[in-house]
Structure formats: C-alpha cells, structure tokens
Amino acid sequence: MKIVMKKTSLKKPHMHLTRFIKPVRRHQQGVALLTALLIVAFATIIAVNIIERQQYDVQRLQNILLGQQAYLFALGGEAWAKSVLFRDKNNSNTSKTDNLFEDWAKPLPSTFIEGGTISGKINDLQGRFNINNLYIKDRNDLSQINRLKEQKALFERLLRVLEISNPISDAIIDWMDTDADVTFPRGAEDQNYLEKSAGYRAGNKKISNITELLLVEGITARIYKKLEPYICALPEQTTININTAPAEVIAALSDQLDLEKAISIVENRTSAFDTVKKFIDKTKGLTTNKTSYELVITPLIGVSSRYFEVQAYVQIDKIRNNLVSTLKRTSTNGIETLSRSPGMN
C-alpha cells in the first residue's frame, strides 16, 4: 500500500506571516534605536554634569588651598611685624619712645611672593582712645571714680572734635560696668536692650572688639564709622602716645586745644618727644591757662606704646587675605599676639 503523503504547503502562510512581522520588527528596531540614543544623550548630560561638577570642585579646592596659602603668608606678615617691634624695643636708640620716625612705622610696600604679593603696615593702637579706659570696676573707689571722670571728659572732647552730637558716653560706661544701675542722665542697661525686637543684655565687662559698640544704645552705624579710626579696645588702661596720635586725638586732650592747634602740633612733630614734660612745654604756649592744661593732660598721655595693630594684605591669583592682628609688648620685651581678625581693605 502506497502511502501518499499529502503535500501541505507551508509557504503560503509563512510568507504571509513574514509580510506581517517585518513592519513590527522595523518598528521595534526604531524604538530600540531611539531608546539607545536617549540613553546615550542622558549619559552624555550626566557625564557633562559630573565633569562640570568635578571642575567646580577642583576650582573650589584650588581656591581653598590658595586661601590657606594666602593666610599663611599673612601670618608671615604678622611675624615680620613682631620682629620689627622686637628690634625697636631691644635697641637702646629706639626703646625709650615709639614714634612715627621709627622703622615699625614704615609700611611694608607691595612685595612679590610666590604667586602674588604681600603688603602691610603697623599702627600704634595707643595713638587712639582706648574705649576700655571708660571701664570702672569699683564705684566706691575714689581713685577709679576720678580716673573715669578724666577719661569720660577726654572721650566727650573727642566726640566734639569728630562732630558727634549724640551723648553716648554714659551708655558705653553702663555697657561695661558690672551693675545694672542706669547712669544719669543718658545711661542704658539691660532694660533698654531687652525692650528691643531682638532683645539682648548689656555686656557688663570690658569691650574686646570695638565692633561691640554697635550694640550700645545711641551708637548708630554712622557714629561708629566716624569713631572707628580714633578708638581701640585694649585689655588694660592705657595712655595716649603723643608721638603717634593723630590731630583729632591730640585736640581732644584738653579743652584748651582745638583741631587747628592740634594740626599744627602734629605738623611740627619733626622728632620724638622723649618725655611728657617736653610735649607740655612745647605746646603750652598754645593755651590760655598753662597750669590747668598741664594738670589735665599729664595723666592722659605717654611717649611710648605697648599695643600695636598689624594689617597684612595678601593677594594670590584672585584670592585675597587681609589679616588684622593685635600685638602686645610683654614685660620681658617680647611680643605676643592678642587677637586676629579678617580685616577690611
């Protein structure tokens, strides 16, 4: 028996399927290509972001390193100042007085350093009024009361010279004294400060940085700006060095002086006064009552200084570092750093 296999044709339906499948596959391939392109595009965007971020991080790191380098150079400037002041005090020709003809008073001109420049200068802080001279520890101590009276009168004369009409001295005294009793008539204590929208209390201790004065009742930014070049905040009572004080401070030393007379004193300061007496002898001709002039001015002045300020300016690339340091001469003629702060330029 012959089995006849019936030929079945698969060709026809297969061809039909192919015709059907081909457009679908092309469509899928198109989608896959688009997806791949999108992934590449996204990956590129992410990669670009990462690179940009890395570049930003690298730049930031570079700036931090340059900033640290600039700060170290500024500390070098401070060390330079210390060595100049040390030499001054340990040389018999320059140790007796501190005056503007000495080496320390000559600014350090802009000098090249690796990658930039450094410049700096030393200012005598005792050429200014020390705001902590208005600090009184014990109001029962007559000598402290008398000293405060003299210093308050000096400060109020300085306010007049600077044309500051707000009576702010009582509020400064109250800010620093340890009690909470309001000084008559213009004082201010805790109750004045607690009433403010962001209330705070009086410092009730010596001022460590003159910017603190901006918290004191009656001291506006305008008043502070006028006062700032002529005041300092030192940890102990100090006299004013008549060899370095500007005319405004000299004018405030006595009621019998004024800015015009003080300018002539400063302009004629062609060499150092090595004693307070020599300064008084030279200037008393400008006054009407020589005895009272001498009496008032003697406890207020001196011819040398223990406190100095160093300003160091460093520029490396686009990075700038300004450092202001307060230096103190120790009793053994050494120099120590009392404080450091970023300076303005």
Q: Which residues bind Ca ion (CB under 5 A)?
A: 88, 94, 98, 102, 174, 177, 202, 204
Residues 169 and 218: their CA atoms lie apart, in Å, by: 10
Closer residue to Ca ion, CB minimum distance, 70 or 240 = 240
Residues 4 and 68: their CA atoms lie apart, in Å, by: 98
Closer residue to Ca ion, CB minimum distance, 102 or 248 = 102
Residues 240 and 126: their CA atoms lie apart, in Å, by: 5
Retrieve residue 85's tokens. 């002041």
Residues 7 and 10: their CA atoms lie apart, in Å, by: 9
Give min distance, CB of 231 to Ca ion, in A. Answer: 19
Residues 250 and 272: their CA atoms lie apart, in Å, by: 15
Half-sphere exposure of 289 (CA within 13 A, CB side): 9
Closer residue to Ca ion, CB minimum distance, 165 or 331 = 331
Closer residue to Ca ion, CB minimum distance, 255 or 274 = 274
Please name the residue that has the structure tokens 């620093």. 176
Residues 249 and 129: their CA atoms lie apart, in Å, by: 7
Pairing of strands 335-342, 301-302: unpaired
Closer residue to Ca ion, CB minimum distance, 88 or 309 = 88
Could you tell me which residues are beta bridge partners of residue 118? Answer: 111, 314
For residue 281, which of 266, 297, 270 has the smallest C-alpha distance? Answer: 297
Give min distance, CB of 182 to Ca ion, in A. Answer: 9
Give min distance, CB of 242 to Ca ion, in A. Answer: 14
CB-based contact 103:87 (threshold 8 Å): yes
What is the strand order of the sheet 116-124 is part of?
Answer: 108-113, 116-124, 307-316, 319-329, 335-342
Give min distance, CB of 204 to Ca ion, in A. Answer: 5
Give min distance, CB of 305 to Ca ion, in A. Answer: 8
CB-based contact 296:254 (threshold 8 Å): yes
Give min distance, CB of 243 to Ca ion, in A. Answer: 9
Give min distance, CB of 59 to Ca ion, in A. Answer: 46
Give min distance, CB of 334 to Ca ion, in A. Answer: 15
Closer residue to Ca ion, CB minimum distance, 73 or 104 = 104
Spell out the residues 6+ positions from residue 185 whose beta carbon is closer than 8 angstroms to its own: 170
Closer residue to Ca ion, CB minimum distance, 99 or 325 = 99
Closer residue to Ca ion, CB minimum distance, 175 or 313 = 175
Ranges assigned E (strand) in 88-142: 108-113, 116-124, 129-130
